[in-house]
Amino acid sequence: MTPNVLFAAPDRLWARYQAPLTRALEEVGVSARLGPDAGPPEDVDYIVYAPHPGLQDFTPFTRAKAVLSLWAGVEKIVGNRTLTMPLARMVDAGLTEGMVEWVTGQVLRHHLGLDHVLSHQSGEWVQNVPPLARWRPVTVLGLGALGAACARALAALNFPVTGWSRTARDIPGIRCLHGEGGLAEALGSGQILVLLLPLTPETDGLLDAARLALLPDGAVVLNPGRGPLIDDAALLAALDAGRLGHATLDVFRTEPLPPSHPFWGHPRVTVSPHVASETRPESAARVIAENIRRGEAGEPFLHLVDRANGY
Ligand code: NAP
């Protein structure tokens, strides 16, 4: 069998993925017809997908064995009622590596007070030695592919790390809490809070005024997860009141963040334009090729999305 693999993603991506995907399919021994035009929809076996206006209705793909998402976050796809075939999300070593670098860098920036150092270069000799990481507790909400990797990297630097997930996790060196019952303790423990939750009906608006109030005074919020995890107005109120120290936000309810948004230019907010990490074609192509190999061999797909939970 030579499966037909439709690459259905914004145009600019095909040039980046064509060679890695072709190579990765060869490596797993699958000979496929691959491209943005894989023949009539009823002949397509797999859809490599990133949301774009060109493909929203999956109904004509009657033979497709799976939709393989290029992105880790699937909130724009998971509710699509025409997508009835298995949906796999992206778990990519390169994406994870980039996220670990971004989160570690942002945590160290705030922990070491690097902003303060950079803004005090006028000849005044003021010594503020930062505490050791071992005295700076960090909380990571979300202990999945990205959150767990970041938690481990921070723990390896000696930060005491508390993690929070929906179901119970056991990660050596991390204090793992879960469920509604563990949230208040997780929020109360971290001087630096990292949000790496997916956007689902349960996590939408999770960080509202009441939960922000549980963070320690002066806490720093890092959000490389999804914008709607936070109630923007509540966050701004907490920052304006001086209750929270800073928010470094990589993701927003509306992207690009509108120029008039109060986050821009706010003295306690750093706007990062959704660059914390991204799927890396070389490593991601191997994940997609492996799932196509599995589909052809009748083996279970990796990284399937749980539709009921929304991630
Ligand atoms: P993942 O492997 O699916 O992990 C999700 C984690 O969140 C799991 O630990 C899960 O708990 C937890 N969770 C989900 N719903 C929860 C709830 N209601 N209460 C408590 N915990 C809950 O996802 P991932 O690959 O780590 O990615 C996380 C998110 O990062 C993505 O969904 C995406 O939004 C974002 N992202 C951002 C960028 C960027 O550049 N800014 C890039 C890639 C991804 P369980 O462990 O119990 O399942």
Q: To test the ligand 1 pocket, which listed residue (197, 248, 252) has its Cβ within 8 A of the most ligand atoms?
A: 197
What is the mean predicted confidence (pLDDT) over 128-138? 96
Q: Is the peptide bond before 256 cis (omega within 30 degrees of 0)?
A: yes
Is residue 4 over pLDDT 90? yes
| pLDDT for 255 | 98
SS3 (DSSP) at 165: strand
| pLDDT for 240 | 98
Structure-token match 């009141």, residue found? 241
Which amino acids bring their CB within 6 angstroms of ligand 1?
A: 72-73, 91, 95, 142-147, 165-167, 169, 196-200, 202-203, 224-226, 250-251, 274, 276-278, 311
pLDDT interval class at 300 (50, 70, 90): very high
pLDDT interval class at 1 (50, 70, 90): confident
pLDDT interval class at 32 (50, 70, 90): very high
pLDDT in tens, 175-185: 999 999 999 99
Q: To test the ligand 1 pocket, which listed residue (194, 196, 204, 250) has its Cβ within 8 A of the most ligand atoms?
A: 196
| pLDDT for 157 | 98
pLDDT in tens, 195-236: 999 999 999 999 999 999 999 999 999 999 999 999 999 999
For residue 258, give both structure tokens.
Answer: 């509108």
What is the mean predicted confidence (pLDDT) over 133-137? 98
Is residue 276 over pLDDT 90? yes
Count other C-beta atoms under 10 Å from residue 95's C-beta: 23
SS3 (DSSP) at 33: strand
For residue 267, give both structure tokens.
Answer: 């003295």
Residue 207 carries which DSSP code? B
What is the mean predicted confidence (pLDDT) over 25-42? 97
Residues identified as active-site: 226, 274
Domain ranges of the chain: 4-92+279-297, 93-271
| pLDDT for 101 | 99
User: From atom 20 of ligand 1, which residue's Cα is the shortest distance away?
Assistant: 166
Is residue 30 over pLDDT 90? yes
Count other C-beta atoms under 10 Å from residue 253's C-beta: 14
SS3 (DSSP) at 58: coil
Q: If phi over 0 gives left and psi between -120 and 50 gives alpha, with beta otherwise, what is residue 82?
A: alpha
Judge whether 4-92+279-297 and 93-271 match in fold.
yes
pLDDT in tens, 82-91: 999 999 999 9
- Closest to 8 in 3D by CA, of 32, 62, 44: 44
pLDDT interval class at 65 (50, 70, 90): very high
- Closest to 138 in 3D by CA, of 58, 195, 179, 209: 195
At the topology level of CATH, where does 4-92+279-297 sit? Rossmann fold (3.40.50)
Structure-token match 């060196």, residue found? 173
Report whether CATH 2.40.10.480 matches the domain 93-271: no
For residue 306, give both structure tokens.
Answer: 């749980």
Count other C-beta atoms under 10 Å from residue 182's C-beta: 17
pLDDT in tens, 252-275: 999 999 999 999 999 999 999 999
pLDDT in tens, 136-173: 999 999 999 999 999 999 999 999 999 999 999 999 99
pLDDT in tens, 70-104: 999 999 999 999 999 999 999 999 999 999 999 99
